[in-house]
Amino acid sequence: MGRKSMADQRRSKIVQAFYKCVVNEGFAKSSIRKVAKEAGVLPSTLHHYFKDKNEMISETVEYYTTLLSSEFISQKKNSNKSLAQGLEYIFSSAMINEEHTGFFLECLAEARHNPKVRDSIAKLFCHFREIIIDQLNEIETIKQMNPSQKKGIASMIIAMHEGIELQWFADPDAVSLEDSLNFTKKIMEKM
């Protein structure tokens, strides 16, 4: 039991180191040697825990997904207005910032030629749609809609978030996260 726990801790440390390297240097420059140095282990240790870089990438995207979604989900536990709180989170600087957005953009670029990363990104979006649909089900007018309509609304919310995030990344001074949040809330109130 203790040995498994130690292995899980080391694997998690490596994933976090890879995440940090990708944020700082991008996928292309995040070599095994750099990740090992960041994690404080030998390069051979990475090969012990991950069969290849693709496995490390996939697990790091899962780490990133968990990192973001855990805070989004916690909004529901802390409020009767879970969708509003969730929207406040996804349009906040806690989610739209240099680190998270930079990592996400690196993932998207890597996903273009890497089916494993593309699959991980698809899972990320699926996970966020499920969380948003769960929160949408608390709104009376939406509760009556069919699953396809709810999925469409969740996809629209994600698309608005992603579009704002990309615009913010390109030119932070041209995009107001607060205005984007308020506009999204108004759209949701009309439903």
pLDDT at 72: 66
- Taking only the tens place, the pLDDT of each residue in 96-117 is 999 989 998 998 898 898 888 8
Q: What is the pTM of this model?
A: 0.82
1-50 and 58-189 agree in CATH topology: no
Instruction: Map out the domains of the chain as residue ranges.
Output: 1-50, 58-189
Tell me the range of 89-93, 140-144, 174-178, 187-191 where mean pLDDT is highest: 174-178
Task: Please state which CATH class domain 58-189 belongs to.
Answer: mainly alpha
> What is the CATH number assigned to the segment(s) 1-50?
1.10.10.60
Measured CA to CA, the distance from residue 132 to residue 130 in angstroms comes to: 5
Total residue length of the chain: 191
Res. 171: pLDDT tops 90? yes
Report residue 188's pLDDT band, with 50, 70 and 90 as the boundaries. confident
